[in-house]
Amino acid sequence: MIPDWETERRRMVEEQLSKRGIRDERVLSAMNAIPREDFVVPEARLAAYFDEPVPIGCGQTISQPYMTALMAQSLELAGTETVLEVGAGCGYHAAVLGNLAARVISVEIIPALAELARRNLARAGLDHNVTVICGDGSLGYPGLAPYDAISVEAGAPEIPSALLAQLNDPGRLVIPVGERGEHELRVVWKRRGQIEHRVETLCRFVPLRFPRR
Q: Which amino acid is at 11?
A: R
Mean pLDDT for 199-210 is: 87
pLDDT of 15 over the 90 cut: yes
Mean pLDDT for 198-206 is: 92
Which CA distances in Å does 209 have to 18, 58, 164, 183? 32, 12, 18, 15
> Catalytic residue at 29?
no
pLDDT at site 212: 52
Alpha-carbon span 66 to 137, nearest angstrom: 23
Choice among 63, 74, 106, 151 that is catalytic: 63
pLDDT at site 2: 82
Which tens digits make up the pLDDT trace of 135-168? Answer: 999 999 999 999 999 999 999 999 999 999 999 9
Tell me how far the alpha carbon of residue 192 is from its chain's centroid.
26
Which tens digits make up the pLDDT trace of 122-134? Answer: 999 999 999 999 9
Alpha-carbon span 112 to 109, nearest angstrom: 9
Residue 97: pLDDT band with limits 50, 70, 90: very high
Average pLDDT, the chain: 95
Q: Which amino acid is at 141?
A: Y
For the chain, strand residue ranges (E) read 54-57, 60-62, 82-86, 103-108, 130-134, 147-152, 167-177, 183-191, 194-203
Which CA distances in Å does 154 have to 27, 123, 134, 166? 20, 25, 15, 18
Residue length of the chain? 213
Gyration radius (Cα) of the chain, Å: 16
Mean pLDDT for 71-84 is: 98
Alpha-carbon span 199 to 188, nearest angstrom: 9
Residue 213: pLDDT band with limits 50, 70, 90: very low
CATH number of the 5-203 domain:
3.40.50.150
Mean pLDDT for 25-37 is: 97
**pTM of the predicted model as reported, rounded to 2 decimal places:** 0.95
pLDDT at site 131: 98
Please provide residue 2's backbone torsions phi and psi, each rounded to the nearest 5 degrees.
-80, 130
pLDDT of 180 over the 80 cut: no
